[in-house]
């Protein structure tokens, strides 16, 4: 099961394992560390958190809904004490 922030509810930690892995949908994929137990939705983004991470608390997938940049997303996450760990990978779809 994945946890997603495309609704008004926060995504909570710890993450639970996903029974049937789905295809990666996010344009950006990166590991995160979090000092919080709940990640609030970020306007303009669809987020999905995965329990698998080599060093962090989870892996975040992010897909923009337009109008905001990756820099905006990172600032919003930092305000919630969620930080990228390692490189941010861009996934081209199509």
Query: What pTM did the predictor assign?
Result: 0.71
Dihedral class, residue 81 (left if φ above 0, else alpha if ψ from -120 to 50, else beta): left
Residues 6-29: pLDDT tens digits? 445 555 554 444 444 566 667 899
d(CA 15, CA 66): 27
How wide is the angle at C-alpha 54 spanned by C-alphas 92 and 13, nearest 5°?
90
Contact indicator for 73, 67 with CB cutoff of 8 Å: no
Residues 65-89: pLDDT tens digits? 888 999 999 999 999 999 999 899 8
Distance of CA 72 to the CA centre of its chain: 14
Contact indicator for 91, 42 with CB cutoff of 8 Å: no
């Amino acid at each position: 099961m994945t946890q997603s922030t495309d609704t008004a509810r926060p995504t909570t930690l710890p993450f639970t394992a996903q029974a049937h892995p789905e295809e990666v949908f996010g344009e950006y994929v990166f590991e995160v560390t979090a000092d919080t137990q709940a990640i609030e939705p970020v306007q303009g983004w669809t987020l999905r958190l995965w329990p698998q991470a080599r060093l962090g608390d989870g892996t975040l997938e992010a897909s923009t809904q337009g109008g905001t940049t990756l820099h905006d997303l990172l600032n919003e996450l930092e305000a919630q004490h969620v930080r990228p760990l390692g490189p941010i990978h861009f996934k081209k779809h199509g």
